[in-house]
Each structure stands twice: as structure tokens, then as C-alpha cells.
Amino acid sequence: MHELSLALELRTLIEQQASQDGFRRVHRVRLAVGMLSCVEPEAMRFCFDDAMQGGPAEGAELDIERIPGLGRCTACSREVAMEQMHDPCPACGLPLEPVRGREIRLLELEVSD
Ligand SMILES: [Zn+2]
């Protein structure tokens, strides 16, 4: 499961930040998830709760901010909003090259000592 491995990576990242910055509890995690990243927010929430058990972010809220997809046509260089991977260019019908929306990024942690 894609979301579970991501959630476990996120836990490792949070644990690293916790020892680096000296906080013990995380109350809220803000995550940016691109629309083209193949990550389902609901599945991510579910895996997040599981993956954070026994760590600094156990019981933390997860806020997911969706980043809309944007693609560029390799033929006509037109930039078009993308709903999903492999959407074609509306002008030439060729598959768009995604330029935004595939990323998954930790935006912010709300923490206390
Ligand atoms: Zn085109």
C-alpha cells in the first residue's frame, strides 16, 4: 500500500525533526498532496493514524491540502489543468507532461514540548 509506506516515511521525518528541534508532542500535521500523486486523502488519514502509534504524532490531526494538477503539452507547450495522469492536450490530443501536482510535502507541524 502506497499510503502506508508514505505514512511511515512521514513518521521517520517527524521523529527526526522531534529530536533535532527538541519537541515531544505533535498536535497537527499539515501535508500537501498533489492531485496527480495517486494518494487518496481518506486512505492517507487511515494509514496516518496507524503509522503514528507510539510516536510523537500519535493522535495528531492530519490536515491535507490538495494541490491541483498542471500539465504542459510536449508538442504545443500549452499549459493545462490536469485532473489525472495521462490527460491529453485539448488542442493536439497528446499526453500532457505533468509539471505540478505529483508532490507530497510536509508543510507544517504544530508541536509542544
Ligand atoms: Zn498540445
User: What is the whole-number distance in angstroms between the Cα of residue 33 and the centre of ligand 1?
Assistant: 26
Asked if the model's pLDDT at residue 1 lies above 70, the reply is no
At 113 the pLDDT is: 82
Residue 55 is assigned to a structural domain of this protein: yes
Residue 18 lies in a domain: yes
Q: How far is the CA of 68 from the centre of ligand 1 (A)?
A: 19
pLDDT at 38: 87
User: What does the mean pLDDT of the chain come to?
Assistant: 95
CA of 3 to the centre of ligand 1 (A): 33
Whether 78 is covered by a domain: the verdict is: no
Taking CA atoms, 70 is separated from 11, 89, 92, 95, in Å, by 29, 11, 16, 12
Domain count, the chain: 1
Checking phi first, is residue 15 left (phi over 0); if not, alpha (psi -120 to 50) or beta? alpha
Q: CATH no. for residue 48?
A: 3.30.2320.50
List the domain range (segments joined by +) for residue 64: 2-69+101-112
- Give the mean pLDDT of 20-41: 95
Q: How far is the CA of 36 from the centre of ligand 1 (A)?
A: 19
- pLDDT of residue 94 exceeding 80, the answer is yes
- Domain annotation covers residue 77: no
> Would residue 90 count as lying in a domain?
no
**pLDDT tens string 31-71:** 999 999 989 999 999 999 999 999 999 999 999 999 999 99
**Residue 89, domain member (yes or no):** no
